[in-house]
Structure 1
Amino acid sequence: MDNCTEFGAEKDGNMIMQESPSRSEMYDLDVDSSVENQLIEDEDFKTLAAHKAVMEQETVEVSVAKFSQLIQGFLKNKIDTMESELQQKEALLQKEKEKVQAAKMALMKKERGYLREKERLRRSIQEGEEELKQKMRELSELKTRRVDEQDDTSSQDSEDEDEDEAEAEVDIEEIREIKKRKRKKKFVFF
């Protein structure tokens, strides 16, 4: 298989160097061969260096572009993930807020119920105290009336007792008189 190159041909594994026409030959310049070779080398080096620089720049630009794309993709994925997590956390926070609000409303409702019950008990206690005061007044009045009645009764009783004693004394005297009379009559009959 023949491979042709810029500098020669390869045949059966042996390299056959073919010289390309020199610039001096191409332009019919009468130049010293060492200077010509140096010019060729310089020109080739410059071309090769320029080509290499272009290739490196393109490689760098491609690499930078690819890296930039990778970074952008990574950042976009990271941002999307963070936004998703943030939305989930906001949803959870909203649910927690709703739970807290519901608990707060229930607590306020219970508090209103307790306040109503407290007010009802306060009124009931107040009414009970007033009723107790009224009963105490009535009892005091009743005691006063009884004492007055007892005073009246005891004075009446003492008057009645005095009258009864007087009557009893009169009765006793009358009985004595009657007994004396009977005795006298007995003596008269005998």
Structure 2
Amino acid sequence: MNKEFEMKKKLSSDEKSKLLTVLKTRFDKNMKRHENMKWQDVSHKLESNESALISLQAMEQTKGEPDVIESEYDAGELLFIDCSEQSPSGRRKVCYDDLALESRKKYPPEASAVTLAKEIGIELLDEMQYRRLQKLGEFDTKTSSWIKTPEKIRQLGGALFCDRRYDTVFVYHNGAESYYASRGFRGSLKV
């Protein structure tokens, strides 16, 4: 996990401006992710939403490289997803949730994916969102990412994660308390 991560409660005008510049640059560079969108519409929606900007700043700070993708949601709602090539480096070495964290007595990780996502103000991707992301590019070719796990699997001690190998997206299971240097999580933010 990124030791330099600090969740902000408010962004200065300069921080907002820099964040919007980074997001616009990424938006312009990756038009295939949002072919039918205009930056002006995205920018307008973001500028009036302080909590979304704070979450996007945290996504950026933890190396998620958030970008807006075309959404299946109601008209007017934007969906940002972590689009870093590999699982965000500032959110790795985490177990699945706090129950798993508490059960890990020997060599526990510093945090859990579910709790860190809540602190940032995002949600873990579910399997459908993860597969949708993979249609936009090749992600997690050297890493893996925890995804939302169905309650039944979680109650039995497991959790799900995904990656891309051999030009195929794989969904795996592991004990929820496990953590690895190459496993993190990707998040989504509705605006």
How high is the TM-score relative to the length of structure 2? 0.14
Larger radius of gyration: 1
TM-score by length of 1: 0.14
Greater share of strand: 2
Q: Which has the higher contact order (CA 8 A, sep 6+)?
A: 2
> Which of the pair is proportionally richer in helix?
1
